[in-house]
Amino acid sequence: MIKIYNTLSQKKEEFKPIEPGKVRMYVCGMTVYDYCHLGHARVLVAFDVITRYLRHRGYDVHYVRNITDIDDKILRRADENGEVYSDLTERMIKAMHEDEARLGVLSPTEEPCATDYINEIVAMIHKLVASGHAYAADNGDVYFSVESYPDYGKLSKKKLEDLVAGARVDVQEAKRSPADFVLWKAAKPGEVSWESPWGDGRPGWHIECSAMSNHCLGETFDIHGGGPDLLFPHHENEIAQSECANGHTFVNTWMHAGAIRVNKEKMSKSLGNFFTIREIFEKYAPEVVRYFLVSSHYRSQVDYSEENLAEAGHTLARFYHALRGLVPAKDVAKTGHDRQFAEAMDDDFNTAGAIAVLHAVVNEINQYRRDADDQRAAESAAVLVRLGRILGLLQQDPEAFFQADTGGELSTEDIEAMIRARAEARQQKDFAEADRIRDELADNGIILDDSREGTSWRRG
């Protein structure tokens, strides 16, 4: 029995999909005007693990993650760059796919782009206008009437009267109420636009997701997820417009990943502590970044720091060190570790508890190796790799992990040439030269491990 914390009810609930054995899940994806940052990585990895585990448990998961490829930020950035907006979005989508591939994130079942669903968006807005839940304003925009939906605020637990009292309306807006939000934006001169019954324009952000999820997954589906900043107003508005358009429940289970903090402060460009995934990859291997994100529960707040990333690297190295030189046994039956792992993951995808099980397996492998019990060590190695796969971890050859080029001054070829020179110096009993080479390698973060089989190396 899987239990999931539902943001809507604010409690853990037994997960019962609408259609037995099948899961329909929608996660809000990127607005592609810039490179993905660490907060995006958190969401990408969190729902990748959730998808992997649901499939491991036998569910047929239809995972939809959208792309917002038209909005104010995109148009503004394209204008700043002096390029066509679609050239910008195409480049950023390509970069996003490169980043997620390096993080080990599997592709979603569908990845709809907003500009491919203009007809569906217009149709949903038309439905809302016809039923009195939306209205065309004098300025050419179309707004959703929040007061027409009595349950507004049920996800965020915000009260409409408080929102209206604290809201400010721009003098250029033609809203009936400060809480109303835009569904269709009238085009400005020279701006990209599409035809609609209300004039040329483009969709508002919130309606995009309702139309795309409705088309890909149906009017009611199992899980809707996203980052913590989307709960309000984006997801609240999705519920309102979707349930008014369709007349019934939009989503059964709402899931939100935790926020990213940098050295205990909120990550933001204004504080100068804003990191793209690509910038982090310049210093840390992608699997280390993934391990760092997976090692915390998806709902918890994660504190990014150099120390925490370094610690993640050391821990992952310990796991791979346990696998080094072992060939995992085949067809190993499930063990108590599998049961403990499942218990942790069934409890709202508790990856922190699942990681604790991996540590226990590593301890077991190391003990078998000390006892020279190669067969049991190989069997435990198979368990470690099997459970790691569910989290998207430990699928590399250990040597590839240890020797991955992270942009240091010495290339793999340089290191191996120096190791050969050291071996020759030792053979000629020139131990001073051998020590000098070892020290030079150590100064460059290269650790040598001498054994009867020869010398292996890893980046420290």
| 209 is known to lie in a ligand binding site | yes
At residue 396's C-alpha, the angle toward residues 390 and 401, to 5°, is 125
Read off φ and ψ for residue 176, nearest 5 degrees. -80, -30
| 234 is known to lie in a ligand binding site | yes
The DSSP 8-state label assigned to residue 194 in this structure reads B
User: What's the longest Cα–Cα distance across the chain?
Assistant: 90
User: What is the DSSP pairing of strand 302-304 with strand 265-266?
Assistant: unpaired
Nearest alpha carbon to residue 33 among 80, 66, 98: 80
Question: Which pair of tokens denotes residue 167?
Answer: 């809201």
Q: At residue 209, what is the residue type?
A: C
For residue 325, how many other CB atoms are within 10 A of its CB? 15
Question: Which pair of tokens denotes residue 430?
Answer: 């020139």
Cβ pair 361, 383 in contact under 8 A: yes
Cβ pair 238, 124 in contact under 8 A: no
One-letter-per-residue 3-state SS of 99-148: HHHHCCCCCCCECCEHHHHHHHHHHHHHHHHHCCCEEECCCCCEEECHHH
3-state secondary structure of 2: coil
Tokens 């417009």, located at residue: 241
| 238 is known to lie in a ligand binding site | yes
The DSSP 8-state label assigned to residue 410 in this structure reads S
SS3 content of the chain, % helix, strand, coil (to 5): 50, 15, 35
Distance CA 227, CA 79 (A): 28
| 28 is known to lie in a ligand binding site | yes
Question: Which pair of tokens denotes residue 48?
Answer: 């990748």
Question: Which pair of tokens denotes residue 55?
Answer: 């499939």
Q: At residue 263, what is the residue type?
A: N
CA distances from 307 to 263, 303, 314, 418 (A): 10, 10, 11, 30
Q: At residue 438, what is the residue type?
A: R
Read off φ and ψ for residue 29, nearest 5 degrees. -95, -150
Specify binding-site residues. Answer: 28, 209, 234, 238, 269
Specify binding-site residues for ATP. Answer: 269
Specify binding-site residues for Zn(2+). Answer: 28, 209, 234, 238
